[in-house]
Chains A and B, each alone.
Chain A
Amino acid sequence: MTHALDSASGGKKRPNKRSTVDKKTRAGVSESIDYAVADEAEGRRALAALASAFGTRRDRIPQQSLVYYDTFDWRLYQRGFRLATRPKQGSKMLRLESPGFSLEAPIRNRSAPSFGPRLPEGPLKELVSPVVGVRRLLPLVRLDTRSRGVNILDGQEKTVARVQLLQAGVAPPASRRAPKPLSPRISVRPVRGYAEFAQKVTHYLDQELGLKPAPSSLFEEMLASVNRRPGGYSSKLDLVLDRSSSAREAARTICRHLLETIIANEDGVRRDLDSEFLHDFRVAVRRTRSALAQLKGVFDPEARRTFREEFKWLGSVTGALRDLDVYLLQMDQHRAALPAEVAKDLDPLAVYLRRHRAAELRTVKATLASRRYRRLKRNWRNYLESAPPDPDRSPYAHLPVVEVASRRIWRAYRKVTEQGAGIVDDSPAESLHMLRIECKKLRYLLEFFHSIFPAREIQPTIKSLKQLQDNLGTFNDLEVQQATLKRFAQEMSEEDLASVNCLLAMGRLQGHHDQRKQVERQRFFQCFAEFDSTRNKKRFARLFRPQGDNQS
């Protein structure tokens, strides 16, 4: 071994003796480091040079083909996970990579991975399934690699670092086309407990051979070559608005972003990949409607009226499918709420739900293909891109966004506190429902404009509202479920699907819902009190109260 370890703990010596022990163990690299090489020949020359400088052994690495998976909203990527199948080599395997470790699990059935609960049992599933949630795993890209490997050995002939010359090609997952080659790279992988050796190798590649680190990771380069941007979609509304822009500019940015979200989810809805495509689609529609309703005076009145109507239509034609999705997603929970011997009586309900869902899906698909929908998208985009409206007809359009946003938020906030304070023990469920709607309006406004207010101030307001909304939302869900369950029971008996046992089980479910509703109702007073606390009041006033408004 000709190259000494360069000391990472060098430089100033700490007076504390103990810390040097810790530092030594941390010296060296723990993640693999990639170097760019111009072509295969240069890579081979580098490997040969390593072989003459260190003790090495050839490592035969079979050609590999990996298909990477993630959910539409990049849940695995966000969590630092990479999930791939090896479709070609002998037995099919699922491979999970994460900084610091990798796991494999054999796939028993031949099918590609789809939903978390359907993954093969084992530690891999335990890690992946909760991250993926209800979303479907979709194939991202196929990576074919051919690599030459060299293991760096120590005096005992133990492998202490691994070096690979990687030549990879990328293709869309299902295509038969020849993969598109990526530039070759040399990858140095440290071996746990021997980080200092990997550092010697990288030092040699840097200093002696003058190689440059690869500009991006293989994973990133792979996605870039098929034009996919990791983390490129999120259902969260994370817009950064310019504080000094006009209200119209801000509204335009928000609505355009929402329109992009609507369009991005179309394909998943059409192909019925998972329930969240429709959900995100509908949330974007509802946010658009809310923006149109709340930002009065920013859009011109005529356009505002037509678009509100059209988006309302879009929301309502997709509503029935979502209701059925929610019921199907909660079917396991419903079963769990009943005693085991009664739970199976719910099976006809599941049959009924699936049958109706298929019909509703056809309706939604037809809607997405309809002329009315396409015209709505086109007109809306044109409207958002068109010249600013007449100041006489939209008096607030040219005001600074901060002013308009503060005023609207303040108003929505006042409404929530006023209505909430009026709720007592025996208020009708309707009043809780109305309050829920007002909360939602306030929430959307806060989310639209959060970036123009100081984050430290606005985040707590959103959090406090969220708790209240969760409570009201659960209550309302139960209320709606009771109503739909009643409707289902009626329709099922009309369709001769309802056995007496099933109807009885559904009746018990109703009772269970009743109990939970009572609990949520009791909890409401506490949730509202927290939202209506003096601290929160002050916070809202500081952020949004217009000058000259002295009401508390």
Chain B
Amino acid sequence: MKVYASYNIKGGVGKTTAAVNLAFLASQEGQRTLVWDLDPQGAASFFFRIKPKWKGGAKALIRGKRSPDSLIRSTDFERLWIYSAPTSGIAIWTWCCLSSNARMSGLPKC
């Protein structure tokens, strides 16, 4: 698997814009594509007119009472979804899952 990163310490240079557009192009080519929005600004969600749910839910996720699948939403485009988790609690939980293989099973299957 190849990983591409768009990064810069400066804000407003087009990191999110590039990522969102790459995701759109991938979905147009027939790939099932999921955008992970773990940025507290929620800018990627904003691109798709998706209003992130700011109200918690992290507790339920950690306790396994809520499925992270519920954080995935359809965009207006085919084959393109967004995992919208801009609140710090959920974002931290997700990062923890990603960095420990043991908890990976808790993450949504895309």
Q: Which of A153-167 contact B (CB under 8 A)?
A: 156-159
- A158-B48, A159-B76, A193-B72 given as contacts; is B30 within 8 A of A18 (CB)? no
B61 to chain A, nearest CB (A): 10
Contact of B73 among A101, A156, A157, A193 (CB under 8 A): A193
In the complex the two chains form, is B70's CB within 8 Å of A25's CB? yes
**Whole-angstrom distance from the CB of A61 to the nearest CB of chain B?**
12
If A192-B72, A192-B74, A193-B74 touch, whether A158 touches B65 (CB-CB below 8 Å) is: no
Task: List CB contacts (< 8 Å) of A178-197 with chain B.
Answer: 191-194
Query: B65 to A21, Cβ gap below 8 A?
Result: yes
For B56, give the chain A residue with the smallest CB separation: A21
- Enumerate chain A residues within 8 angstroms of B50, measured Cβ to Cβ: 156, 158, 193
Contacting pair B73 A106 (CB below 8 A):
no
Known: A158-B48, A158-B50, A193-B72. A21 touches B30 (CB 8 A): no
A428 at the interface (CB under 8 A from B): no
Q: Is B103 engaged at the interface, CB distance under 8 Å to the other chain?
A: no
Of the listed residues A19, A151, A193, the one surrounded by the most CB atoms of chain B closer than 10 A to its CB is: A193
Flag whether B10 is at the interface (Cβ < 8 A).
no
On whether A18 and B60 interact (CB within 8 A), knowing A104-B30, A123-B32, A156-B51, the answer reads: yes
A105 and B76 within 8 A (CB): no
Count residues of chain A with CB under 8 A from any CB of chain B: 20
**Across the interface, do A21 and B60 meet the contact criterion of CB distance under 8 Å?**
yes
* Cβ of B81 under 8 Å from chain A: yes
A18 near B72 (CB under 8 angstroms)?
no
In contact, A22 and B30 (Cβ under 8 angstroms)? no
Q: Whose C-beta in chain B lies nearest to the C-beta of A123?
A: B32
**Cα distance A123–B31 in the bound complex, in angstroms:** 9
Q: A18 contacts B73, CB within 8 Å?
A: no
Also in contact, A156 and B49, with CB within 8 A (given A18-B60, A18-B65, A21-B65): yes
The answer to whether A194 and B73 touch across the interface, beta carbons within 8 angstroms, is yes
Contact in complex: B65, A105 (CB < 8 Å): no
Min CB–CB distance B107 → chain A (angstroms): 16
Interface residue A103 (Cβ < 8 Å from any Cβ of B): yes
Kindly list chain B residues whose C-beta atoms are within 8 Å of the C-beta of A191: 73-74
- B39-69 interface code vs A (CB 8 A; 1 in, 0 out): 0000000001111000001001001011100
| Cα(A21)–Cα(B55), bound, Å | 11
Residue from B48, B67, B73 with most neighbouring chain A CB atoms (10 Å): B73
List A21-80 residues whose CB lies under 8 Å from chain B.
21-22, 25
Chain B residues with Cβ below 8 Å from A106 are 30
Q: A25 and B66: CB pair below 8 A? A: yes
Min distance, Cβ B82 to any Cβ of chain A, angstroms: 8
Interface of A: prevailing SS: mixed
Docked-complex contact B57 and A21, CB < 8 angstroms = yes
Q: Chain B residues near A157: list those with CB within 8 A.
A: 49
A151 CA / B79 CA spacing, docked (Å): 17
Closest to B29 in A: A106
How long is the Cα–Cα vector from A157 to B76 in the complex, in angstroms? 10
Count of chain B residues with a beta carbon within 8 Å of a chain A beta carbon: 20
| Chain B residues, Cβ within 8 Å of A192 | 72-74, 81
The reply to whether B32 and A103 contact each other, CB–CB distance below 8 Å, is: yes
Mask, A475-511, CB within 8 Å of B = 1, is 0000000000000000000000000000000000000
Find out whether the CB atom of A21 lies under 8 angstroms from the CB atom of B66: yes
Cβ–Cβ contact B70 & A105, under 8 A: no
**Nearest CB in chain A to that of B60: its residue:** A21
- Please indicate the chain B residues that have their CB under 8 angstroms from the CB of A21 in the complex: 57, 60, 65-66
Please report the C-alpha to C-alpha distance between residue A193 and residue B80 in the assembled complex, in whole angstroms. Answer: 13
Question: Within B22-42, which residues are at the interface with A (CB < 8 Å)?
Answer: 30, 32
- Per the bound structure, the CA–CA distance linking A157 and B48 in Å amounts to 10
Q: A22, B74: Cβ atoms under 8 Å?
A: no
Chain A positions within 8 Å of B51 at CB level: 156, 158
CA distance A310 to B57 in the complex (A): 72
Closest Cβ of chain A: how far from B66's Cβ, in Å? 6
Collect the chain B residues with CB atoms within 8 Å of residue A159's CB: 76
The residue of chain B having its C-beta at the shortest distance from the C-beta of A106 within the complex is B30
A174 CA to B10 CA, complexed, in Å:
60
Q: How far is the CB of A547 from chain B (nearest CB, A)?
A: 55
Specify which chain A residues have a CB less than 8 angstroms from the CB of B70 in the assembled complex.
25, 193
Report the bound CA distance from A159 to B77 in whole Å: 10
Q: With A158-B48, A158-B49, A192-B81 in contact, is A22–B65 under 8 Å at CB?
A: yes
> Within the assembled complex, what's the spacing in Å between the Cα atoms of A19 and B64?
11
Chain A hits for B57, CB < 8 A = 21
Contacts of A194 in B (CB 8 A): 73-74
CA distance A19 to B67 in the complex (A): 12
Chain A contacts of B73 at CB under 8 A?
A: 191-194
CB of A158 within 8 A of CB of B76, answer yes
Q: What's the nearest-Cβ distance from chain A to residue B49, in Å?
A: 4
Contact with A along B79-96 (1 / 0, CB 8 A): 101001000000000000
Given known A-B contacts A21-B60, A159-B76, A105 and B30 have beta carbons under 8 A apart: yes
* A18/B63 contact (C-beta < 8 A), A105-B30, A156-B51 known: yes
How near does chain A come to B5, taking the closest CB pair, in angstroms? 25
Rounded to whole angstroms, the CA-CA distance of A159 and B73 in the bound complex is 11
For A156, list chain B residues within 8 Å (CB): 49-51
Q: Which chain A residue shows the least CB distance to B50? A: A158
Q: Provide the bound-state CA to CA distance between A156 and B65, in Å.
A: 30
Query: Would you give the shortest CB distance from A147 to chain B, in whole angstroms?
Result: 15
16 new A-B pairs (CB below 8 Å) besides A18-B65, A156-B49? A18-B60, A18-B63, A21-B57, A21-B60, A22-B60, A25-B70, A101-B32, A104-B30, A104-B79, A106-B30, A151-B76, A156-B50, A158-B51, A191-B74, A192-B74, A193-B72
Instruction: In the A-B complex, list the 5 residue pairs whose CB atoms are closest, starting with the nearest.
Output: A193-B73, A158-B49, A192-B74, A25-B70, A156-B49
Could you name 12 residue pairs across A and B whose Cβ atoms are closer than 8 Å? A21-B65, A22-B65, A104-B30, A104-B79, A105-B30, A156-B51, A158-B48, A158-B50, A192-B72, A193-B50, A193-B74, A193-B84
- Name A residues whose Cβ lies closer than 8 Å to a Cβ of B: 18-19, 21-22, 25, 101, 103-106, 123, 151, 156-159, 191-194
